[in-house]
């Protein structure tokens, strides 16, 4: 029997801490987070708003500035630790080797310039192309993501396009430099359902075609099932469960993960009260002691409110930070 093919590790995050000093206290937005990304895979970061997903992405991109922020730990890309890297050096990585797709396409573009000019700025900032070659490559990229009449779109302004079209243009902007990693931060949140499906299908096609790696940030587990290879569930600045996507959906273990999956709207809920997770994500300067989910957890025991649980590994590649696994209790 042949063993699994080992993938190339492209990004390793170790003990990442991103804190902000505010008048209310220290905001521990990302608190001791570790994970890795392999070449050619899609890793999903999932959780409610305020769990630290976007701050994790911004930390990787070097967009969290001090003061008032402080970033500690390691973000190893290739053979370099990006934490503490001078801004001048970060600019050679951000946008070229690691690109980002933001969740609000309407606010991501300058309304005073054509989309072609804005794409040109990205291309010329990172690639050794003249104007003619840059425009040709940009239009080729627009064609590759099925933009109709790309020559015409190149000369249009953002307000002349729909939200779905602008999201496609933003994907093109991320692809121009052929990056190793694309971070997609809630890329379908602002779009209607039919356009969401189109964008997800496009990202799947591109990931297969370009063999790049994607960190896909979302609160919607339905999209995760369609696009991800592995899933990391975040809550209150920490990762509470990591698993391959099929295993997570078939056998969720952490009570928070189970709550997220149960809270998805389904046809069989028609005429019934919809299930939900009681309470809310605490503010980042008011995180409770112990497991941060324990005030909302229906299975919490005394120890949960006292000591932060370590990661247990109930199955290979599946880790869970929950005290209920201490004695082998897998629900």
Task: Output 103 or 180, whichever has higher pLDDT.
Answer: 180
The band of 331, judged by pLDDT with boundaries at 50, 70 and 90, is: very low
**Distance from C-alpha of 59 to C-alpha of 29, rounded to nearest angstrom:** 11
pTM for this prediction: 0.90
Average pLDDT over residues 175-191: 86
Task: Read off the pLDDT of residues 2-60 as tens digits, 9 standing for 90 and up.
Answer: 444 567 899 999 999 999 998 888 999 999 999 999 999 999 999 999 999 999 999 99
Average pLDDT over residues 193-220: 80
Least confident of 86-95, 146-155, 185-194, 315-324: 185-194
- Residues, the chain: 331
* Domains of the chain, first to last: 9-97+181-285 (3.40.50.300), 100-176 (no CATH)
State the first-to-last Cα distance of the chain, in angstroms, to the nearest integer.
32
pLDDT at 270: 52
The band of 190, judged by pLDDT with boundaries at 50, 70 and 90, is: low
Residues 6+ apart with CB under 8 A from 5: none
Task: Read off the pLDDT of residues 240-298 as tens digits, 9 standing for 90 and up.
Answer: 999 999 999 999 999 999 999 987 645 454 555 666 788 889 988 899 999 999 999 99
Closest CA to 137 of 118, 114, 119, 153: 119
Mean pLDDT of the chain: 88
Average pLDDT over residues 137-148: 91
- Encoding tokens for residue 33? 């987070």
pLDDT at 3: 44
Contact between 169 and 105 (Cβ < 8 Å): yes
pLDDT above 90: residue 62:
yes
């Amino acid at each position: 029997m042949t063993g699994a093919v080992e993938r190339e590790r492209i990004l390793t995050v170790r003990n990442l801490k991103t804190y902000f000093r505010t008048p209310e206290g220290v905001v521990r937005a990302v608190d001791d987070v570790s994970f890795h990304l392999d070449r050619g895979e899609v890793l999903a970061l999932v959780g409610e708003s305020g769990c630290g997903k976007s701050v994790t992405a911004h930390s990787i991109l070097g967009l969290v500035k001090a003061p008032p922020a402080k970033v500690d730990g390691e973000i190893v890309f290739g053979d370099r630790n990006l934490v503490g890297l001078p801004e001048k050096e970060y600019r050679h990585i951000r946008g070229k080797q690691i690109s980002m797709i933001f969740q609000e396409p309407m606010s991501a573009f300058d309304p005073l310039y054509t989309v072609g000019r804005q794409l040109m700025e990205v291309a010329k900032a990172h690639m050794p192309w003249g104007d003619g070659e840059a425009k040709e490559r940009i239009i080729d990229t627009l064609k590759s993501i099925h933009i109709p009449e790309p020559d015409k779109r190149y000369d249009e302004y953002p307000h002349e396009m729909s939200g779905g079209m602008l999201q496609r243009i933003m994907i093109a902007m991320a692809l121009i430099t052929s990056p190793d990693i694309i971070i997609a931060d809630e890329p379908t949140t602002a779009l209607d359902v039919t356009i969401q499906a189109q964008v997800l299908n496009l990202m799947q096609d591109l990931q297969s075609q370009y063999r790049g790696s994607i960190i896909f940030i979302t609160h919607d587990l339905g999209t995760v099932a369609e696009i991800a290879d592995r899933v990391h569930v975040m809550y209150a600045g920490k990762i509470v469960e990591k698993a391959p996507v099929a295993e997570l959906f078939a056998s969720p273990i952490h009570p928070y993960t189970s709550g997220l999956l149960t809270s998805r709207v389904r046809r069989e809920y028609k005429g019934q009260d919809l299930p939900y997770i009681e309470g809310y994500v605490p503010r980042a300067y008011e995180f409770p002691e112990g497991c941060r989910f324990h005030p909302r957890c229906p299975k919490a025991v005394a120890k949960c409110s006292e000591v932060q649980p370590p990661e247990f590994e109930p199955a290979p590649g599946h880790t869970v930070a929950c005290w209920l696994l201490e004695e082998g209790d897998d629900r």
